[in-house]
């Protein structure tokens, strides 16, 4: 079984007006599909071509190939697959307000307040030069906000992603043009905190 394009968990227009149907269609059907197709092609002949878990493949990247150029291309495209799989599930029509439970407590303990966390997250997205992502991750047992370039996923540096926002221009330019800060502010309206809480509970207790 090869890598497959993840089906959106909602309709293409479900996140409007925060993200338009046009943006979702191009982002999912063109960009995400391209990462899937390219990754599958790069995996041909490696012995890993039947693997369908991009996270597992990224974690095993050192064993897939010794070719530095091919390895970087795999990181770019497997990261593109995994990052978008996480991204689609992180959003829901109407959002889910704000975190609750253990995650809320951990955010308030680390950042002081939910609003302070949001500000730091937005700054990470605004400060990412060029294409990349802003993330809330678990790192060494605690929460941290980071940014990564291109399609790098936090697992490449030993961190567990809980929440990620895509700040590649294709994620927002049709709707916000060059106003990345506005996109970052509006995006909170569609964040699915229930899913982020589930990831936190399943993978990473910050105690």
Per-residue pLDDT of the chain (207 residues), as tens digits, is 799 999 999 999 999 999 999 999 999 999 999 999 999 999 999 999 989 999 999 999 999 999 999 999 999 999 999 999 999 999 999 987 789 889 999 999 999 999 999 999 999 999 999 999 999 999 988 999 999 999 999 999 999 999 999 999 999 999 999 999 999 999 999 999 999 999 999 875 433
Report the CATH number at residue 173: 3.55.40.20
- Does 54 map to a domain? yes
Domain tally, the chain: 2
CA distances from 56 to 61, 75, 79, 82, 104 (A): 9, 12, 11, 10, 29
Q: Do 83 and 112 reside in the same domain of the chain?
A: no
How far apart CA 115 and CA 113 sit, in angstroms, is 5
Residue ending a domain, choose from 63, 89, 115: 89
pLDDT at 48: 94
Ramachandran area for residue 14 (φ above 0: left; ψ -120 to 50: alpha; else beta): alpha
Report the CATH number at residue 38: 1.10.287.990
User: Counting every residue, how long is the chain?
Assistant: 207
Q: Is 58:156 a contact under the CB 8 Å cutoff?
A: yes
Q: Do 198 and 110 reside in the same domain of the chain?
A: yes
How far apart CA 3 and CA 162 sit, in angstroms, is 22
- Does 16 map to a domain? no
Nearest to 106 by CA among 2, 1, 207: 207
Q: Do 117 and 181 reside in the same domain of the chain?
A: yes
Q: Do 76 and 125 reside in the same domain of the chain?
A: no
- Does 165 map to a domain? yes
Q: Do 198 and 108 reside in the same domain of the chain?
A: yes
Q: Facing residues of 136 across strands? A: 145, 163
- Does 193 map to a domain? yes
Containing domain of residue 155, as a range? 101-203
- Does 6 map to a domain? no
How far apart CA 172 and CA 105 sit, in angstroms, is 31
How far apart CA 153 and CA 76 sit, in angstroms, is 9
- Does 95 map to a domain? no
Residue ending a domain, choose from 89, 110, 143: 89
CA distances from 111 to 49, 106, 142, 153 (A): 42, 8, 11, 22
If 0-12 CB within 10 Å is exposed, 13-18 middle and 19+ buried, where does residue 67 land? exposed
Q: Do 68 and 117 reside in the same domain of the chain?
A: no
Q: Do 81 and 109 reside in the same domain of the chain?
A: no
Q: Do 73 and 163 reside in the same domain of the chain?
A: no
- List strand residue ranges (DSSP E) for the chain, in order: 132-139, 142-149, 160-166
Q: Do 32 and 73 reside in the same domain of the chain?
A: yes
Tokens of 147: 């940014």
Give kind and range of the element (H or E) at residue 175. Answer: helix 173-176
Residue ending a domain, choose from 33, 55, 89: 89
How far apart CA 3 and CA 190 sit, in angstroms, is 27
């Amino acid at each position: 079984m090869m890598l497959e394009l993840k089906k959106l968990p909602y309709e293409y227009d479900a996140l409007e007006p925060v993200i338009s149907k046009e943006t979702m269609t191009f982002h999912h059907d063109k960009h995400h599909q391209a990462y899937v197709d390219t990754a599958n092609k790069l995996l041909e002949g490696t012995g890993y071509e039947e693997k369908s878990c991009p996270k597992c493949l990224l974690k095993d990247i050192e064993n897939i190939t010794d070719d530095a150029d091919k390895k970087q291309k795999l990181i770019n495209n497997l990261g593109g697959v995994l990052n978008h799989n996480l991204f689609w599930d992180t959003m829901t029509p109407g959002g889910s307000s704000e975190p609750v439970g253990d995650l809320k407590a951990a955010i308030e303990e680390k950042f002081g307040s939910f609003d302070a966390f949001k500000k730091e997250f937005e700054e990470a997205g605004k400060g990412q030069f060029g294409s990349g992502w802003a993330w809330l991750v678990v790192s060494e047992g605690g929460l941290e906000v980071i940014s990564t370039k291109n399609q790098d996923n936090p697992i490449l540096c030993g961190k567990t992603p809980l929440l990620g926002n895509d700040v590649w221009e294709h994620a927002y330019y049709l709707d916000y043009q060059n106003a990345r800060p506005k996109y970052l502010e509006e995006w909170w309206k569609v964040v699915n905190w229930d899913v982020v809480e589930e990831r936190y509970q399943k993978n990473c207790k910050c105690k």
